[in-house]
Structure 1
Amino acid sequence: MIPIKIPREEKLEIIANIQNHFYREMSDEIGDLAAENLLDFMLKELSPHIYNQAIKDARTTVEQKMMALEEDLYALEKPIR
């Protein structure tokens, strides 16, 4: 699977959020490198699961739209005597 690429500005914001979380929840500080390594690890581990769920959700949405389209098409049919 292709790794997720996050723009640098967003990555820095996420790293800051990880650091704030560690401080709030564990009263512990985590450095920039440790937070970035944790983010990279979590992305590597979670990305396939999140991707697969997104595909499943998209599949469900497309199936629902196709069913609705099929119903609309049947409704357009003209009766034949």
Structure 2
Amino acid sequence: MSSQSMLSQQQLQQLAPELQAYLATQLNLEVGQFDAQFLLDFVAARIGRQIYNKALDDAQQALSSRMESLQAAIWELEK
């Protein structure tokens, strides 16, 4: 695994058994711990930034909506 991993070694170790179980049940594919960690690292490196940026965008939209609601409530109090 690269030193530029998006996931920590602890995260890889925690997620690998879940990936192994998924691959075994859904694809009837047995992979070892190292291979599962390597695949997780690869996928995280390829799509992790997009997922992170989407989550930030969703949070920003939720916050903006909440701020608009608060502003409307303040305007109501000013009347």
- TM-score tier by shorter-chain length is 0.7 to 0.9
Bigger radius of gyration, 1 or 2? 1
The structure, 1 or 2, with the larger RCO (C-alpha pairs under 8 Å, 6+ apart) is: 2
Query: How high is the TM-score relative to the length of structure 2?
Result: 0.78
Identity of aligned pairs, percent? 25
Give runs of aligned pairs for residues 49-68 of structure 1, distance below 5 A.
49-68=50-69
Residues 5 and 41, structure 2, Cα contact 8 Å, conserved in 1: no
Aligned residues: 76
Normalising by structure 1, report the TM-score. Answer: 0.77
Unpaired segments ≥5 residues, structure 2: none
The alignment's C-alpha RMSD in Å is 2.0
Please say if 1:47 is aligned against 2:43: no
Residue aligning to 1:11: 12
Structure 1: unaligned runs, 5 residues or longer: none
